[in-house]
Amino acid sequence: MKTFRKLIVLFAVFVSCTMQSQETAFQVEVSGKGNPVLLFPGFSCTGEVWEATVKELSKTHECHVFTFAGFGNVPAIESPWLKTIKNDIANYVKRKDLQKPTIIGHSMGGSLALWLASDNPETYKQLIIVDGLASIGALMIPDFSPEKVSYDNPFAKQQLAMDAEAFHKMATQMAAGMTMTKEKQPQLVSWMEQADRKTYVNGYIDLMKLDLRKDIQSIKIPVTIMASVNFYPKPQVEKLYTEQYQKLANKNILYVENSAHFIMFDQADWFLKEVLKLVK
């Protein structure tokens, strides 16, 4: 009897340690069989953004669809938010022994993909970046450096203090500019409203401070970048992406006409065809 009790205690300790060692910065849904593909949503979105993509891709590949902490139903985590996500993803890939996974990342998810591949260039097979940049801060701030972005700023305080009505109005206006597919706009609003407010505010500042324009020179694997051409004229978009990815050697930039930020919604057929062609 004593031996049995000891075994029960040891098993409980083992389970506890195993659970504590696993990642808390995201939840993952896995489907399909084949070579692994990691799918990262953009800021405030859940893995549901990849539903149509996974429906087809999972027929031939093992799809790992992420939803990050503070978004959807995933509990928020403490700071540093974005760095913890990046480190936990690296641990997840190692723990699951995923061999040369492809990463598909939208917006912030694309930036995460670049960060992971910059740190460990040999771990991944290829990256597909969907309307994502190496430095979002450089898009918004002249002569950008991470030090120019502060967590303690008036706009952040305003967003943290917004009531539900004001936040809904802001989210509705933002969604209208992020996808031309009107039936998808309410879903974007819902995701923004569902997000943990502190994560929504400070997490975006984390992203703003991330500057990978030099680091990406260590990436040698193929990188396909899909850039939407709608809000800005094409020459301006081309200039932006050329500057952002200047130090990335093995790249192919595809300029997607008549699409806002969510290319997988606005050019759904084209997007799925390209993804299936690239991910073999």
The pLDDT value given to residue 264: 98
| Residue-wise pLDDT tens digits, 236-268 | 999 999 999 999 999 999 999 999 999 999 999
The pLDDT value given to residue 205: 96
Asked if pLDDT for residue 10 goes beyond 50, the answer is no
Q: Is residue 17 part of a domain?
A: no
Q: Is residue 256 part of a domain?
A: yes
Q: Is residue 47 part of a domain?
A: yes
Compare 22 and 208 and report the one with higher pLDDT. Answer: 208
Q: Is residue 33 part of a domain?
A: yes
The pLDDT value given to residue 119: 96
Asked if pLDDT for residue 14 goes beyond 60, the answer is no
The pLDDT value given to residue 27: 98
Q: Is residue 7 part of a domain?
A: no
Q: Is residue 114 part of a domain?
A: yes
The pLDDT value given to residue 63: 98
The domain total for the chain is 1
Q: Is residue 77 part of a domain?
A: yes
pTM of the model: 0.91
**Residue 54, domain CATH:** 3.40.50.1820
Residue 80 pLDDT class (50, 70, 90 cuts): very high
Q: Is residue 12 part of a domain?
A: no
Average pLDDT score over residue span 59-88: 97
Asked if pLDDT for residue 21 goes beyond 70, the answer is no
3-state secondary structure the chain: CHHHHHHHHHHHHHHHHHHHHCCCCEEEEEECCCEEEEEECCCCCCHHHHHHHHHHHCCCEEEEEEEECCCCCCCCCCCCHHHHHHHHHHHHHHHCCCCCCEEEEECHHHHHHHHHHHHCCCCCCEEEEECCCCCHHHHHCCCCCHHHCCCCCHHHHHHHHCCHHHHHHHHHHHHHHHCCCHHHHHHHHHHHHHCCHHHHHHHHHHHHHCCCCCHHHHCCCCEEEEEEECCCCHHHHHHHHHHHCCCCCCEEEEEEECCCCCHHHHCHHHHHHHHHHHCC
Asked if pLDDT for residue 31 goes beyond 60, the answer is yes
Compare 273 and 21 and report the one with higher pLDDT. Answer: 273
Q: For residue 29, what are the domain limits?
A: 23-278
